[in-house]
Amino acid sequence: MILQNEFEVAAPVEKVWAYFLDVPNLAPCLPGASLVGDDGNGRYDGKVVAALGPVKLNFSGVAEIVSADETAHRMVLHAAGSEDRGRGEAAMTITATMLSSGRGTTVKVDQDLTVSGAAAQFGRGLIADVTGVLMGSFADCVQYNIDNQGSGGTATAIRAAAPASGLAIGLRAAIAALKRVWARFFLPYDRNR
């Protein structure tokens, strides 16, 4: 399934681009994610813990930057892993494109996600809503860290994203779903909704 998100960062595109390329400092901004290994060649071992209601999934896998076009400020990252108890697999290709906007940078994120096993039971609508909530937390963390990084050449992860809490994510995703249903029934038709 293809998921699309967009957020703003109040910083120049070059600064946001440099932050995104620094995967060890970017990873703590992904709710529930942690790096456990770095081979030094752009390949990272990591873990992702996600809990939604009674389902808690622990994934272990590998992520790597597949391409990085500095001129277009476009990077492609591929991540794949399996659930630690053998209850499913997930693979995602993430394409992030950064564009200068009025007061900073617009980051467009396209995710091509494939899930199987326990994670697949949630369905596309819930996965899209949960992804939107997680992307909001990710954007807040990126903004905070870019605002507070030292004047040295590399970023220092000042703050990690909030843990991927099932109750908080579930409530925010449910609110997003209710807003979407409300809009479909009571607002004029919009193909992009």
Residue 141 CB contacts under 8 Å (≥ 6 apart), including other chains: 28, 29, 159, 160, 161
Residue 156 has pLDDT above 50, yes or no: no
pTM for this prediction: 0.73
Q: Are 107 and 15 in contact (CB under 8 A)?
A: no
CATH class (in words) of the domain with range 2-186: alpha beta
Spell out a b/e string for 93-131, using b for 16 or more CB atoms within 10 Å of the CB, else e. Answer: bbbbbbeeeeebbbbebebebebeeebeebeeebbbbbb
Domain range list for the chain:
2-186
Q: What is the pLDDT of residues 63-121, one digit of tens each?
A: 999 999 999 999 999 999 888 888 788 888 999 999 999 889 999 999 898 888 766 66
User: Using alpha carbons only, what angle is made at residue 124 by residues 45 and 59, rounded to the nearest 5 degrees?
Assistant: 20
What distance, in Å, lies between the first and last C-alpha atoms of the chain? Answer: 17
